[in-house]
Structure 1
Amino acid sequence: MTYMKRGTKEFKKVNFALFAGGFCTFAILWGTQPLLPEIAKEFQISPAASSLSQTSTTIALAISLLIAGTLSEIYGRKRVMTISLVASSMLAVLTGFMPNLDLLITCRILLGITLAGLPAVAMAYLGEEIDPKSLGMAIGLYISGNSFGGMAGRIITGILTDYFGWRTALTGIGVVSLAATFIFWSFLPQSTNFKVQTFKVKQFGIGLFSHFKTPGLIHLFLIGFLLSAGFVSLYNYIGFQLINPPYSLSQTLVGFIFIVYIVGTFSSTWMGMLADQYGKSRMLQLSIIILMFGVCITLNLNLWIKIFGIAIFTFGFFASHSIASSWVGRLAAQNKAQAASLYLFSYYFGGSIVGTASGTFYINFGWIGIVIMIAVLSTISLLISISLGAISSRKIKFLKVQ
């Protein structure tokens, strides 16, 4: 097999294409998150109920990820990703024209289904085409595109909402995503190490559940679930916190809060490189500790200190997600797309379920309820990562003896 190595022209093209694809996917996926207060106001519903416009998409995405990865094994990596991005961008344009909440949620569910193609396949593509010594950096760059897309999508929708309304904002994200899709299709090379497989239901089931027997993978699935649960909860309800007194920020300023995603763009790449150098276990644990430190800082009432805490939290989250994602590709000996899909299923399922359920904590206990919940989830993640590190160490020692 021939792999693309860091520094080569092909390596740069792959990372630029997947950066554009990640931007497109996550700008669409999280486009409604900063608009939840506006949606709640227009349809006269609670914060938790308004979050359904967001979590309906992530739930549909989580389930569809299990199928999208398998489709790419049959029809090819690039084809599935490209179709996914085109369909999602067109649906995103239509979302802004939905006249009521039911149709909005229906359209967002369809978006969740079509969006699954890129995240389910991208990590498998990288795992097959990129040199293992450069994989951590490549995954980090891809996730940096995700974080940049999430940031830009939120900022764009915030600005457009203040000037033209939230419906125009959602349509605008779709138009921008169509342009990003064209860049993705133009730059991404066809797979060279991919082998077409025939679909068989029995083999699909066996392959899917075999990943739960692989030492360490279930730990990563749980970590993805818990970290995403905390991350989505924080960003779902920080907008409600900031538009109310004593801050009383406009929708545009709330959207600009998401500029802290820049630190996630940096941390996912940088910490991914450090994980290649110093070990995934050590850097994953450090990243989770940084995340916990950041969320505690957000308890401070000073706006700038609160934003600083959000930035530290975001740094730790994207670093953790980057390391865990690349670790899945290394642990899965076969059916890498399925393994990546299972990790992302856990990741988005956690964000979907807890992201809405945590609204109860916010309604009853305010911001401190959200912070305590995230701190507990992060502590559990840290303990699981320590256990994962022990499993990894034993495996390395065994291989050395062999």
Structure 2
Amino acid sequence: MAIQRVDAAICTAGFVAFLNLYPPQALLPELEAAFGTASGGTTITVSAGTLAVALVAPFAGILADTFGRRRVIVASMCGLAIATLLCGSATTLTQMLVWRFVCGLFVPGISTGALGVLAEDQDRTRALRVAGLYIAGTVLGGFMGRFLTGLVAHWFGWRHSFHALGLVSLCLVPLVMAGVPKPAAATRSGTLATLRAAATHLDHAELRTTFAMGFLLLFTQVATFTYVSLLLARPPYNFNSATIGFVFASYLAGVVVTPHTGRLVARHGRRRVATLAALLGVAGACCTLWPTVTAIALGLSIGCASIFMLQSLATGYVAEAARHTKSAASGLYTTAYYLGGSAGALFPKVLWNSGGWPACVALIASMYLLLAWLARRLWPAPTQAPD
């Protein structure tokens, strides 16, 4: 029963972190109208949160190692919920950016703390399984954050969508408090000592590769869903916020595939599974070029399955490969991951303005191919599966 509570808490922590991180993606047309910006001008509301995550993530690992992961996770969940509630009070784009940035400041405490709990598990098979559950929680949270936001915004206005997300997050805090184990003792090694120890992770070639993969993963995901939202809000689709929210049901493909990733790795090896997942992502991106809603939804679902399989592999590998200051290693991965998210929201804007969705797809497909190359060339060769 205690193990089940821990599993539920880790999954819920991932759910809450992603529930509050990407809701603006379903609101871009409404925010453009509310704040009077040009097409694509509100994509910065997505990157503001992810940039804050990237900046704070290494220090979140230090805090988790110093004060205890449970305490940091719970405090971060409360802060994130309050900041999300305050997003609904923004009257200018600048105010919205401030509160979105504040939201991002609290996310690393949740994600890095949860990954640190996972890293302490000495059973590799169980660690892979729980990593899959954590990613499944982030997938479900990412979907609900966009879906609930779009639905509430359509019926009650975009401000109330942030209020709904904040209240849901607060209600889930007790579940995480009950499940995350209390540490026997906090590790108080000092900030400078922990930073020096964490820096040694950058000397680990395979960890560096995994950090690079994390950057590319969120770059690809954020670029896909940010600009496909703008595509679907335009003719001939003319989707409203509620309908765009339904499109994010493609996220649920990740809930289906990620719990099985550990078994696939045990049978075929991490490199082979990662390569196949990346090539699957290329196919999904190309599928969205067909100008029908069905083809776009199918392509997004395939892409989500690919991204979250790769994410499960990467997070599990960080937990396995880091030999010390595991929360700090998770923090470095989180920094790379969310720097990719910030870049994915902003940089494709040039391609969007010049070449539209096809230009964005070309970029997204190239990122998948780069992920496949990294998996084939830089990750260790798969071990032979037992007969």
Within a 5 Å distance, the mapping from 1:9-88 to structure 2 comes to 9-88=1-80
Matched residue of 1:218: which SS? Answer: helix
Residues 130/181 of structure 1: CA separation in 2 closer, same or farther (3 Å cut)? farther
**Bigger Cα displacement from structure 2, 362-371 vs 261-270:** 261-270
Aligned equivalent of 1:89: 81
Matched residue of 2:252: which SS? Answer: helix
Q: Does 1:333 align with 2:311?
A: no
Aligned equivalent of 2:294: 304
Aligned equivalent of 1:258: 248
Letter of the 2:53 partner, please give it.
L
Could you tell me how far 1:364 is from its partner in structure 2? 1.0
Within a 5 Å distance, the mapping from 1:307-326 to structure 2 comes to 307-326=297-316
1:123 aligned residue (102, 115, 120): 115
CA distance in 2, matches of 1:190, 1:273: 30
CA distance in 2, matches of 1:195, 1:116: 18
1:142 aligned residue (134, 139, 142): 134
Q: Does 1:382 align with 2:372?
A: yes
Q: Percent identity?
A: 27
Deviations 1:74-127, CA, capped at 9 Å, x for gaps: 100101001000111111111101111111111111111112201112111111
Aligned equivalent of 2:381: 393
TM-score by length of 1: 0.92
**Bigger Cα displacement from structure 2, 9-18 vs 258-267:** 9-18
CA RMSD, 1 decimal: 1.6
Deviations 1:235-289, CA, capped at 9 Å, x for gaps: 0111111121111222111101111111111222112332234321211111111
Aligned equivalent of 2:262: 272
**2:121, 2:127 within 8 Å by CA — same for their partners in 1?**
no
CA distance in 1, matches of 2:38, 2:258: 34
TM-score by length of 2: 0.95
Letter of the 2:75 partner, please give it.
I
CA distance in 2, matches of 1:268, 1:340: 19
Q: Does 1:197 align with 2:205?
A: no
**1:53, 1:104 within 8 Å by CA — same for their partners in 2?**
yes
CA distance in 1, matches of 2:38, 2:340: 21
Deviations 1:323-347, CA, capped at 9 Å, x for gaps: 0110111111111111111111111
CA distance in 1, matches of 2:378, 2:188: 31
**2:46, 2:345 within 8 Å by CA — same for their partners in 1?**
no
Could you tell me how far 1:197 is from its partner in structure 2? 2.7
CA distance in 2, matches of 1:259, 1:272: 24
Could you tell me how far 1:198 is from its partner in structure 2? 2.2
**2:140, 2:255 within 8 Å by CA — same for their partners in 1?**
yes
CA distance in 1, matches of 2:191, 2:5: 34
Letter of the 2:97 partner, please give it.
I
Letter of the 1:126 partner, please give it.
L
Aligned equivalent of 1:133: 125
Note the residue ranges of structure 1 that are not aligned, 5 or more in a row.
1-8, 398-402
CA distance in 2, matches of 1:207, 1:188: 25
Could you tell me how far 1:304 is from its partner in structure 2? 0.5
1:216 aligned residue (188, 191, 206): 206
**Bigger Cα displacement from structure 2, 173-182 vs 204-213:** 204-213
Could you tell me how far 1:195 is from its partner in structure 2? 5.2
Pairs aligned (count): 384
Could you tell me how far 1:178 is from its partner in structure 2? 0.7
Aligned equivalent of 2:90: 98
CA distance in 2, matches of 1:274, 1:13: 25
Residues 117/47 of structure 1: CA separation in 2 closer, same or farther (3 Å cut)? farther
Q: Does 1:346 align with 2:325?
A: no
Could you tell me how far 1:205 is from its partner in structure 2? 3.2
Letter of the 2:226 partner, please give it.
N
Moved over 4 A (4+): none
**Bigger Cα displacement from structure 2, 95-104 vs 270-279:** 270-279
